[in-house]
Amino acid sequence: MTAGPEENRPTPLLVRALRREPVERKPVWFMRQAGRSLPEYRKVRQGVPMLEMCRTPDLCAEVTLQPVRRHGVDAAILFSDIVTPIEAIGIGVEIQSGVGPVVAEPFRSRADLDRLRSFEPEADLPEVAEAISIITGELGETPLIGFAGAPFTLASYLVEGRPSKSQERARAMQLEEPALFRDLLERLADISIASLRSQVEAGVQAVQVFDSWAGSLSEATYREAVLPVSRRLFTEIESLGVPRIHFAVNAGHLMEAMAEAGPDAMGVDWRTPLSQARRRLGEGFALQGNLDPTVPLAGPEVLERETRALLADAPELGHVFNLGHGVLPSTDPAMLTELVGLVHQITEKAN
Ligand code: 1CP
């Protein structure tokens, strides 16, 4: 077999850090780096609904590349949403501006499961692979991160019907009809597995699974109702051969349990110090995070102080610098550019 051009490319910094290999400096990227904090993003988005953007390869590629050009981050993340595959199989979902995903007919009973047919990325959403191919062509050595929603967080949108603070309806369904809830999660896992597989086949070099709202569950419920399904998801995507990151917000109490799902790296929010995460998880996982997203709002002195403090507390091997959750829309993009430079400068190995 002759090696194609991609086989000759050096392994990206991000991928090496996620594999806990030595790096010459720490990689940095930001969740929600493509988005409302960027004027060039707001310009492209004008009048184009979010899900239409995701289905327009050249626009999707453009906004994915914007933060790489502007900030010099060490990875791009595909511009899409966790509900995109669900919408693509015909579930009525709209992403409302300033709100988030809103489901036309929320899931209430077993009959609703029939609405979740299997997801065939090549037929249902071919625009994503097209966008990935444009993006990777432009990125050169910078890797592209793909992503999907974890089953619980996707289920929470389907059952609640819209963004919710503490996922009461979803948690009540789990308590009242655990078998139905489990079947719902299994179907959603299949959809996310299919989506991640096709993203990797199209060229993404790492994947992140967002279980953003899992923190509303107790550890006991997470272990009983969610962990077996998320573990299957991580097991089934292992053979794709790219590093897998598992992330949730406000879920310090679930860190060990979420790590048992079997990712290569754990995303940590700002509430848990990285040194504590390292102690609790051991050496087996890379860590990603975890600057408080409000730090870049607080001025350059605070930014430098907090970044230095975070890096002093972070593991040397196996750390990817990120915020503890997404970039806040009111962030001055110049502060993010500054932050990338700071992390690079502080972590650069003299040689
Ligand atoms: O740059 C990037 O990070 C890529 C783009 C991206 C990603 C990774 C978007 C675009 N969405 C996501 C994932 C996503 N979507 C998550 C997981 C990450 C996280 O925890 O933030 C979640 C929970 C969603 C659901 C969602 N979509 C929300 C949250 C609503 C809630 O429950 O509080 C929102 C606001 C959206 C809309 C959305 N997705 C993306 C953008 C740029 C937007 C805003 C669109 C608009 O304002 O019109």
Rounded to the nearest angstrom, the gap between the alpha carbon of residue 34 and the centroid of all alpha carbons in its chain is 12
Work out the pLDDT band at 8, boundaries 50, 70, 90: low
pLDDT digits (tens, 9 = 90+) for 225-273: 999 999 999 999 999 999 999 999 999 999 999 999 999 999 999 999 9
End-to-end CA distance of the chain: 37
Average pLDDT rounded to a whole number, residues 110-124: 97
Average pLDDT rounded to a whole number, residues 141-162: 98
Across 63-67, 96-100, 193-197, 317-321, least confident range: 96-100
Protein residue with its CA nearest to atom 3 in ligand 1: 32
Work out the pLDDT band at 4, boundaries 50, 70, 90: very low
Work out the pLDDT band at 2, boundaries 50, 70, 90: very low
What is the predicted pLDDT for the residue at 9? 76
What is the predicted pLDDT for the residue at 7? 56
Average pLDDT rounded to a whole number, residues 177-204: 98
pLDDT digits (tens, 9 = 90+) for 39-54: 999 999 999 999 999 9
Cα–Cα distance for residue pair 319/211, rounded to 1 Å: 20
Would you tell me the crossing angle of helices 274-281 and 300-313 to the nearest 10 degrees?
A: 20
The mean of the pLDDT values for the chain is 96
Would you tell me the crossing angle of helices 151-160 and 227-238 to the nearest 10 degrees?
A: 130
Domains of the chain: 23-347 (3.20.20.210)
Residue 349 has pLDDT above 90, yes or no: no
What is the predicted pLDDT for the residue at 263? 98
State the distance from the centre of ligand 1 to the C-alpha of 8, rounded, in angstroms.
34
For ligand 1, is residue 41 a contact (CB within 6 Å)?
no
For ligand 1, is residue 166 a contact (CB within 6 Å)?
no
Work out the pLDDT band at 1, boundaries 50, 70, 90: very low
Task: Kindly name the residue from 41, 55, 74, 81 that is annotated as catalytic.
Answer: 81
222 is catalytic: no
Other Cβ atoms closer than 10 A to 271? 14
45 is catalytic: yes
For ligand 1, is residue 250 a contact (CB within 6 Å)?
no
pTM of the model: 0.96
Average pLDDT rounded to a whole number, residues 328-336: 97
For ligand 1, is residue 77 a contact (CB within 6 Å)?
yes
